[in-house]
Amino acid sequence: MLRALAPLLFLVVALVLNVRIYGDRSLEGSNQLILLAAAGVAALLAPKSRRTALWQGIQGTISDSTKAILILLMVGALAGTWMASGIIPTLIVYGLKLLTPKTFLLAAAVLCAAVSLATGSSWSTSATVGIALMGIGQSLGLAPGWIAGAVVSGAYFGDKMSPVSDTTNIAAAMAGAGLMDHIRHMVWTSGPAMIVALAVFGVKGMSAADVGDLSQVALITELLNEKFTISLWLLLIPVASIVLIAAQVDALAAMGIGTLAGALAALAVQPDIVAEMAGHTGPTAWYEGCMQAMTGSTQIQIDHPMLSELLKGKGMAGMLGTVWLILCALAFGGVMDAAGFLETLTKGLLKIAKGSAGLIGATLAACGILNVTASDQYLAIVVPGRMFKKAYEDRGLKPENLSRALEDSGTVTSALVPWNTCGAYQAGVLGVATGDYFMYAIFNWMSPLVSMLLALTGWTITKTSSDASTKS
């Protein structure tokens, strides 16, 4: 057990020190090197009888996640064309129309959920729509902690439920679950958690004075209308993409169709934006503009600091940092698995975790602990996913039970830890300390509680036996 723990302890200590030094920049390469160093430590400590299998362990782990990595790259392309086509600006314009002082917190959470569902990114949502909502909400006299809590709750709900989210795809891949099976299974935990959050935001809004300055809403709406052709018809594209995935069309194919539809919509509805992305109006501008939106970084020019940040695109290139981190994490997990260390650690935990509820509770706890110690949500998904996958199989539990637990804790609690990359990022972009919005990010701390409650009751815990019951 001590030998199995040593690489994990090395990883945790090294990452904590690294995040303290680099902060948000730790994702730019230093965390990746530490993961590879931890894989090296695990390889050195591996029993001699298992050392010949270490490389095969790495290959097998990465091979299992190849499709998820391709989907992540496609997510970048899709987000780029949906920005260029005006889909995301349309969501924002119509979402801002819902804002009044009494409905602000409720509408802010719903708007962030919608944008995050469409983009698959809680970070992008907070850094764009979230920043706008912080300014608008404070001009209406609302407390910053409450506004940030509504933004984070909505952004992470949309992120979890989005088929184009990196964490959603990673969790499904680690557990071996189908993407839509995973998302459908999360409805039973994320749905109640979000309903509770929206109810609290609605009740809190009733006490707000129905006065305030809505000039920022009018300005943002006017600028977006000037820059883009805003139309509800554009929203048919994300709706169609979600319908395709729900109809069990291969997720990679569905995203490819969504990306192509976004590019065609950009050419038809936003030709000036496409030309701006190409940098010229020549005969090949249509091709270069669409290709730039899908593959590289873009900046749509607009005379407003927040909107300027909103209208940045990263394309596939913007996903390479995440892919890099995941590959290094998978290499670490592959060595730990091949060396037998994950099996040793899992057996130790399972001596305490009795029954299905205990196993799910151990998964939730492991994800939360890694968010606190390793300071990264991807590790909080990948490492427990590799650790517990076989245990779920041995107990006859479907893989979506594991993937749901990974997200119910690994994804959402990351934003509640001040020194985690997610917590630091949210606090930095929203200008509100993590401790100040912690209690108001209701969805984020309700999710693991609801997940544990369902585990204890056995409701929606699906089994692989021929007479698969929804009872544990």
- Does pLDDT of 23 surpass 90? no
CA distance 54 to 50: 7
pLDDT in tens, 34-56: 889 999 999 999 998 888 889 88
Please give the residue range of the domain that contains residue 10.
2-47+324-421+439-457
In a domain, 221, yes or no: no
- Does pLDDT of 419 surpass 70? no
What confidence score (pLDDT) does residue 471 get? 41
245 pLDDT band, cuts 50/70/90, is low
CA distance 292 to 359: 46
Highest-scoring range by mean pLDDT, 37-41, 293-297, 328-332: 37-41
In a domain, 402, yes or no: yes
Residue keyed to tokens 């650790």: 387
Higher local confidence (pLDDT), 197 or 318: 197
Residue 471 phi, psi dihedral angles, 5° rounding: -100, 145
> Are 428 and 141 a contacting pair, CB within 8 Å?
no
pLDDT in tens, 172-211: 988 999 888 999 999 999 999 999 999 999 999 887 665 5
What confidence score (pLDDT) does residue 472 get? 40
In a domain, 164, yes or no: no
Q: Give mean pLDDT, residues 261-278.
A: 93
For residue 363, what are its two tokens? 């998964």
275 pLDDT band, cuts 50/70/90, is very high
C-alpha angle with apex 139: 133 to 199, nearest 5 degrees?
A: 55
CA distance 234 to 81: 12
Q: Looking at 54-68, 166-180, 203-217, 293-307, which range is the least confident one?
A: 203-217
360 pLDDT band, cuts 50/70/90, is very high
Helix/strand/coil (H/E/C) assignment for every residue in 397-463 = ECHHHHHHHHHHHHHCHHHHCCCCHHHHHHHHHHCCCHHHHHHHCHHHHHHHHHHHHHHHHCCCCCE
In a domain, 163, yes or no: no
* H or E, element range at 122: helix 122-125
The structural domain count of the chain equals 1
Q: Looking at 4-13, 102-111, 123-132, which range is the least confident one?
A: 123-132
In a domain, 378, yes or no: yes
19 pLDDT band, cuts 50/70/90, is confident
In a domain, 196, yes or no: no
pLDDT in tens, 83-122: 889 887 887 788 777 777 788 899 999 989 988 888 788 8
Beta bridge partners of 299: 312
Name the 3-class secondary structure at 299: strand
Q: Give mean pLDDT, residues 402-427.
A: 87
**Environment class of 188 (CB within 10 Å of its CB; exposed 0-12, middle 13-18, buried 19+):** middle
In a domain, 453, yes or no: yes
